């Protein structure tokens, strides 16, 4: 059991639950969220038991209790799974590689999508592969290969993502969702560095949101073609657990579709070739 992370997670999630979410009167409260005794009642456990669990002094929790706590804390599926992983982490298996790579077949597949921006990212939100139109869309990244580092430390990200705060919180939630039990040095170093260098990251990480990237819409401001809105879909790469493929698309007949055509066309090819020099190679070993 990861007692420290479990304690932090329970406290953070309890603070996000409003009394009215469970039909309780809000009243005057010194701190946000529900009280410990209220969570205990909702979950059907004693207050003493819940206090011990939140303080990291209780090491026995049945699946039934965890389901009840998830319901009391209004946890979604991924968040409930994260809670279970903190209480009952899987046994250590093969150590994770120090660096991830996108497989050559996957990279070749990306390159066949000439009219569709696509990328692959890894467990720690490292950018593993981009197809040519993806490079054109994300040309502001330059040689940076960490999506989450660029999100918080590169000022260009706040210009590129028109809803930066929403996208940034999604990245933080995805990083936590991908590493529920990863007490590894890489994650600790990444979180430690970003927490020191970015107040926004530290604040968002402390919210303990857990949410994998799925499908939605993002609004961009590209320095060459202006504003565009693209839908995206995220797929798990079954041949490489922890890796995800993201595919973007524009609605037919929209200005965004015309903007992608401009980015893919020969007029801007020379600009991409020169401005993205040193960018992520497609032939990683």
Q: How many domains does one find in the chain?
A: 2
**Which residues are within 8 A (CB) of 107 and not within 5 positions of it... i.e. 6 or more apart?**
120, 129, 282, 283, 284
Same domain, 159 and 61: no
Closest CA to 217 of 177, 242, 180, 254: 254
Instruction: Print the SS3 string covering the chain.
Output: CCHHHHHHHHHHHHHHCCHHHHCCCCCCCCCCCCCHHHHHHHHCCCHHHHHHHHCCCCCCCCHHHHHHHHHHCCCCHHHHHHHHHHHCCCCCCCCCCCCCCCCHHHHHHHHCCCCCCEEEECCCCEEEEECHHHHHHCHHHCCCCEHHHHHHHCCHHHHHECCHHHHHHHHHHHHHHHCCCCCCHHHHHHHHHHHHHCHHHHHHHCCCCCCCCCEEEEEEEECCCEEEEEEEEEEECCCCCCCEEEEEECCCCCHHHHHHHHHHCCCCHHHHHHHCCCCCCCCCC
Same-domain pairing of 126 and 249: yes
Of the candidates 5, 14, 22, the one whose C-alpha atom is nearest the C-alpha of residue 83 is 5
**67 and 136 fall within a common domain:** no
- What whole-number distance in Å separates Cα of residue 191 and Cα of residue 185? 10
Q: 124 near 101, Cβ under 8 Å? A: no
Q: 42: domain range?
A: 3-87
Residues 239 and 109 occupy one common structural domain: yes
> Low-confidence residues of the chain, pLDDT below 70?
1, 89-98, 180-184, 267-285
Amino acid 180: pLDDT? 64
Q: What pLDDT, on the 0 to 100 scale, is given for residue 117?
A: 97
CB 250 within 8 A of CB 230: yes
In a domain, 185, yes or no: yes
Q: Do 162 and 252 sit in the same domain of this protein?
A: yes
pTM for the predicted model, two decimal places: 0.73
- Average pLDDT of the chain to the nearest whole number: 86
pLDDT digits (tens, 9 = 90+) for 232-278: 999 999 989 889 999 999 999 999 999 999 999 876 554 555 444 43
Report if residue 61 sits inside a domain: yes
Residues 110 and 78 in one domain: no
- CA 141 remoteness from chain centre: 18
Q: What is the pLDDT of residue 94?
A: 47
CATH of the domain at 154: 3.30.450.180
- Tell me: do 271 and 155 sit in the same domain: yes
Looking from the CA of 172 toward its CB, the CA atoms found within 13 Å total 22
């Amino acid at each position: 059991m990861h007692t420290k992370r479990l304690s932090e997670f329970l406290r953070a999630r309890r603070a996000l639950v409003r009394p009215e979410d469970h039909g309780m009167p809000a009243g005057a409260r010194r701190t946000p969220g529900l009280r410990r005794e209220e969570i205990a009642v909702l979950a059907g456990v004693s207050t003493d038991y819940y206090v011990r669990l939140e303080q990291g002094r209780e090491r026995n929790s049945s699946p039934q209790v965890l389901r009840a706590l998830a319901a009391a804390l209004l946890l979604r599926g991924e968040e409930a799974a994260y809670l279970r992983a903190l209480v009952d982490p899987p046994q250590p298996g093969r150590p994770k590689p120090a660096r991830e790579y996108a497989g050559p077949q996957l990279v070749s597949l990306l390159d066949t999508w000439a009219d569709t921006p696509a990328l692959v990212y890894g467990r720690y939100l490292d950018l593993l592969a981009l197809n040519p139109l993806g490079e054109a869309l994300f040309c502001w990244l330059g040689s940076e290969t960490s999506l989450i580092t660029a999100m918080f430390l590169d000022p260009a990200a706040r210009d590129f993502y028109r809803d930066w705060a929403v996208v940034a919180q999604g990245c933080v939630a995805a990083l936590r969702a991908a590493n529920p039990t990863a007490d590894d040095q890489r994650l600790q170093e990444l979180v430690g560095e970003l927490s020191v260098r970015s107040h926004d990251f530290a604040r968002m990480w402390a919210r303990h949101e857990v949410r994998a990237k799925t499908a939605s819409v993002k609004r961009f401001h590209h320095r060459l073609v202006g504003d565009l809105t693209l839908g995206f879909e995220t797929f798990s790469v079954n041949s490489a657990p922890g890796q995800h493929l993201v595919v973007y698309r524009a609605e037919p007949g929209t200005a965004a579709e015309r903007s992608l055509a401009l980015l893919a066309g020969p007029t801007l090819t020379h600009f991409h070739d020169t401005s993205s020099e040193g960018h992520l190679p497609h032939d990683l070993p």
